[in-house]
Structure 1
Amino acid sequence: MFSVVIRINKPFFVSLCETGLSSYQKRLEIDSGKSENSAMQNASVRGEAAQIVMPRINGADLEDHAYRAEIESLVREGIGGFILFGGDVKRTPQRIRDLQSLATTPLLISSDVERGLGQQLAGGTRFPGQRAIASACRRQSRSDEALLAAMLDAVRTESRAAGIHIVFSPVVDVNNNPHNPIICTRAFGEDPETVEWFGARYIRRLQKPLRNGTFELLACAKHFPGHGDTDQDSHSVLPVIRAEKARLNRVELPPFREAVKDGVGTVMVAHLMVPALEPSKPTTFSKKIITALLREGMGFEGLIVSDALDMGALANDYSQEEIAVRALEAGIDILLHPVDARRTIKAVLSAVEEGRLTAQRVRESAGRVLAAKTRLGLFDEKARTPRIAWARHRRIAREIAAKAPEVIAAGKTMLPLKPSGGAACFVLDDDAQGMGKALLERLGRKFRKLSSVVLAPGTVLSQAEIAKGIGSSGSVIVAIFSKISASKGRSGISADLEEAGRSVLKAAQAAGSRTVVISFDSPYILDHFREADVRIAAYDRMDEIQQAAGDMLTRRKA
């Protein structure tokens, strides 16, 4: 049993924790038979260190007895919480409730649900990514804003019902580098105003308070101080943001300032080098960036979370123990996704014993974790199984998806395509994941005759095979799928697929066919196919968006 002392003089934490601390301390009295003061005085550094470590938990693996036993042992040792990956909506929430029942202090469960609960748990609703949302929901439209609010309500209720308390969303990076391999369509757009507008609505709706003043979820503004202007992926290397301070203050930092003003509960710090702000240290190790700029300069009073500690940006050059200690020295509150939770806790304890960290520094972060748990009502939560309007949530997802694809360029007479003329579709599947099925199925309904060719990297297509694929089709469609994913290292398509796509366009135009290129991931890929008659950015590969893109090719304007 341990408790956490909050010794932060800011009114935010006083008002936030009055009720939660009171109930928590009373529970300590009942459980331990000690007085309130005695319980608080006996708070151990080890217990507090455990509260600020958040390792990974695999939802699907919780069905395995040995894996579950290992996780349960961490819970009994006082771990503060977990970041959840995978699982399903039927079994995983119950497994999380079982873990909560073992915890002396409630667990804080987080997850990456940028695209809704369905991104992580099978059976949850999968919504479009942020760039697709920004395309579908027009800022000047009240009905679109209401649709956005309905989507965020769905994300909030589904996530909390699954046992999740922190969603690592929204991404408030400004994606101002078209070669960015890891942000790209995860961002709302390329200008700070758009990012601020959508970010504010995400934060306010995800953190919509309950009647008793607690929150179902805490949102997270990421990746501070801005991961948009780089062509490198921090999962693999340490990216460098070379912008001057004036540009950072004008572009990268405003969405984070706005997020703080909107009361965002957590901020995630990226693993970056930003010489204009800190010339000698990665952001995760920089007290100038984390404490002076974010905590003091912007007045942020919530939880500061590291990006995953096992990412190559830091792990390539530092031990897990050193990463944890340096992050805490800089002002990080939660050490996210360490390789080994116990080693990380031990590293913190050793740093305190050696005088490198103070017990007070650890206690401050543990206090903020407790404040977040109080804010979420975890100390007073009663078991409940809320009803989720799954069918309604899926209708919302379909409605947004239908509005996401956007015509970037087209000649006046190029759309709609003529169904009677038939079509040939060449799918460039950059990740060889069998993509394009939903699009091909929809095109098959629309066109009198459809032929299709699916190409993966390394596939060689001769001119004769291209000609055969095109045949007598009046329209030729090149559909591009290139996933934005960790450690892939690029957001474009492979050189051989790009060459194949351009060869298809050249042959189609020589045959007199209308040509269309659709990118279902990075819109910047379209810049490589400017010769196409029509270019469409779909921003997301979910089936509903593929279907919407197929529909818009033959839809006549109202």
Structure 2
Amino acid sequence: MNFAPTLDVNVNPANPVIGIRSFSEDPELVTDLGVAQIQGYQDQQVMATAKHFPGHGDTDVDSHYGLPIIEKDLETLFEEDIAPFKEAISAGVDAIMPAHIVVPALDDSGLPATLSKPILTDLLRDELGFTGLIVTDSLGMSGANVVPPERVPVEAIKAGVDLLLNPPNVELAYESVLEAVNSGEISESRLDESVSRIVQQKQDQGLFDDPYQHPDGLDVIGNDDHLSQATTIADKSITLVKNDNVLPLQMKDDVLVVGPNIANANMLEEHLNVRGFNTSIAHTADAPTEEDINAAADEAAAHDVVVIVTHSAHLSEQQQQLVTALHSVGKPVIVTAARNPYDVAEFPGVDAYIAAYGNRAISHEAVAKILTGEVNPQGLLPVTIPDHYEFGHGLSYHIDATYMKTFVSQLEKSGRLTDRTVIRTMNVHLSAVDHFEQQERSDKVVQHMNSFLQMIDMFTRSGQINEDVAQVLEAHASEVIESWEEG
């Protein structure tokens, strides 16, 4: 069972808990991608759980630490927040996880959805027709603890919950429910309903006949094909939001990479270094101190370009101060947001801005490819950045023969391309393409770039260039051909 996907529609930039866990601010996009994820899981016999019903996307309070209240009217709730869950139910989602949020338009009792019979039974079961499992979010979160600890599991079951997730005190939860059954507050038939749903799900999954996964099945995890697909997805997701002619980076530049520890800026620095760039790293605390900021500013003065990796800086005044201080040094500043894409709203004057949507190695490598021009960015913003950038905004580089010659030079300087014959042949070929581009001879450009592709294939088969370099050059050449064929 997987407690995913997240079907929250993130319309609030100040949301401290959902953010990139949501697909988008667009209910239709959230629905399409969420249902596809559900179908993907369930096609592979993994139970999916749509969360966090009836929608945690418009909060500015983290339900791990407080109790969010959603002040929306019914029409907006159904059009914006509940719509993806309706489609998930139609698609046969196995389970739904309610949120620890208060929604007065659905239940004016002040109880969170987790403990709300009007939301879980009257709306989710009766009105929307959901017959699968209802599993709580962690009961250790503050948003669930609005009644005494012994009452939380009882009220959840009375509201319509089937499974209690992570009660802080399992023995207390068990004894409290047992006492409620013995006293008649919870009927045995009510428990039987949940047991029946749980058993039915297990039976549908074949867990009674074959409860264990064969060890050989684990070989598929992290296999080369899956890692390759993940890399492609990451490369395509990165969004170049702003570029004042500072990207791609130039090989001659000394690059300082700065960021709070939580952003894993060291991973980006390593991937730039592997690509032959002269780099240094400056770490800061997650909330950079004045000492961190001053030290980073001093370091920035000794470099040509500064790359700052942020992590939800729109919610961190200290990270905002870090970016402002480094920008004031007077060197080009490139910010890459390793979590929520809204950070640029706090420092719109930076020279370039990239939304990476993640702080793991695969995202940092994808950003490094964008920064160095290895990959042409094609990601689009899934949300609006208020007063700055619209939903769907995204920039790309203009790939032409001159761009490709510069990139070949970078490959040579980084040691990724070493055969002098190959380098000379490529440059001669690209110079000819550049000549025809200047003359706007689209037929000649396309003809010569197709020949370039054949040449790359020949050099790859002979072992003069490796597969990774070949794929990059082929992608660039194909973009040149496509742009001239489209006119």
TM-score, scaled to structure 1: 0.63
Please state if 1:197 is matched with 2:32: yes
Please state if 1:381 is matched with 2:210: yes
In structure 1, the partner of 2:457 is none
Residue correspondence of structure 1 range 15-164 to structure 2 within 5 A:
none
Please state if 1:253 is matched with 2:82: yes
Q: Does the C-alpha gap of structure 1 residues 226 and 467 become closer, same or farther in structure 2, counting only changes over 3 Å?
A: closer
Q: Does the C-alpha gap of structure 1 residues 307 and 378 become closer, same or farther in structure 2, counting only changes over 3 Å?
A: same
Shift of 1:348: 1.6
Shift of 1:220: 0.3
Q: Does the C-alpha gap of structure 1 residues 368 and 199 become closer, same or farther in structure 2, counting only changes over 3 Å?
A: same
Please state if 1:420 is matched with 2:252: yes
The 8 Å contact of residues 234 and 313 in structure 1, kept in 2 or not, is answered as yes
The 8 Å contact of residues 304 and 333 in structure 1, kept in 2 or not, is answered as yes
Q: Distance in 1 between matches of 2:246 and 2:278?
A: 19
Q: Does the C-alpha gap of structure 1 residues 333 and 467 become closer, same or farther in structure 2, counting only changes over 3 Å?
A: closer
In structure 2, the partner of 1:157 is none
SS in 1 for 2:201: helix
Shift of 1:474: 3.4
The 8 Å contact of residues 420 and 447 in structure 1, kept in 2 or not, is answered as no
Shift of 1:335: 1.4
SS in 1 for 2:43: coil
Residue correspondence of structure 1 range 205-284 to structure 2 within 5 A:
205-208=40-43, 216-280=45-109, 281-284=111-114
Q: Does the C-alpha gap of structure 1 residues 282 and 471 become closer, same or farther in structure 2, counting only changes over 3 Å?
A: closer
In structure 2, the partner of 1:88 is none
Q: Distance in 2 between matches of 1:386 and 1:279?
A: 52
Residue correspondence of structure 1 range 403-482 to structure 2 within 5 A:
403-411=236-244, 413-427=245-259, 429=260, 432-433=261-262, 435-446=264-275, 448-456=277-285, 457-461=287-291, 465=295, 468-471=298-301, 473-482=303-312
The 8 Å contact of residues 9 and 24 in structure 2, kept in 1 or not, is answered as yes
**Correspondence for 1:542 among 354, 357, 360:** 360
In structure 2, the partner of 1:352 is 181
Q: Distance in 2 between matches of 1:451 and 1:362?
A: 60
SS in 2 for 1:306: coil
SS in 1 for 2:353: strand
Gaps of at least 5 residues in structure 1 are: 1-165, 210-215, 483-490
SS in 1 for 2:350: coil
Q: Which whole-Å deviations, capped at 9, do the CAs of 1:65-123 have from their partners, x for residues lacking one? A: xxxxxxxxxxxxxxxxxxxxxxxxxxxxxxxxxxxxxxxxxxxxxxxxxxxxxxxxxxx
Q: Does the C-alpha gap of structure 1 residues 382 and 467 become closer, same or farther in structure 2, counting only changes over 3 Å?
A: closer
The 8 Å contact of residues 421 and 474 in structure 1, kept in 2 or not, is answered as yes
Q: Does the C-alpha gap of structure 1 residues 274 and 395 become closer, same or farther in structure 2, counting only changes over 3 Å?
A: same
Shift of 1:451: 3.1
The 8 Å contact of residues 455 and 497 in structure 1, kept in 2 or not, is answered as no
The 8 Å contact of residues 314 and 346 in structure 2, kept in 1 or not, is answered as no
Shift of 1:218: 0.8
Gaps of at least 5 residues in structure 2 are: 374-396, 400-475, 477-487
Q: Distance in 2 between matches of 1:434 and 1:287?
A: 40
Aligned AA for 1:394? L
In structure 1, the partner of 2:163 is 334
In structure 1, the partner of 2:5 is 170
Q: Distance in 2 between matches of 1:174 and 1:543?
A: 26
Q: Distance in 2 between matches of 1:426 and 1:458?
A: 11
Q: Which moved more, 1:331-340 or 1:256-265?
A: 331-340
Shift of 1:472: 5.3
Q: Does the C-alpha gap of structure 1 residues 277 and 518 become closer, same or farther in structure 2, counting only changes over 3 Å?
A: same
The 8 Å contact of residues 231 and 366 in structure 2, kept in 1 or not, is answered as no
Q: Does the C-alpha gap of structure 1 residues 421 and 244 become closer, same or farther in structure 2, counting only changes over 3 Å?
A: same
TM-score, scaled to structure 2: 0.72
Aligned AA for 1:544? I
Identity across aligned pairs (percent)?
34
In structure 2, the partner of 1:505 is 327
In structure 2, the partner of 1:60 is none
Give the alignment's Cα RMSD to 1 decimal.
Answer: 2.1
The 8 Å contact of residues 320 and 338 in structure 1, kept in 2 or not, is answered as no
Q: Does the C-alpha gap of structure 1 residues 371 and 382 become closer, same or farther in structure 2, counting only changes over 3 Å?
A: closer
Q: Distance in 2 between matches of 1:340 and 1:465?
A: 46
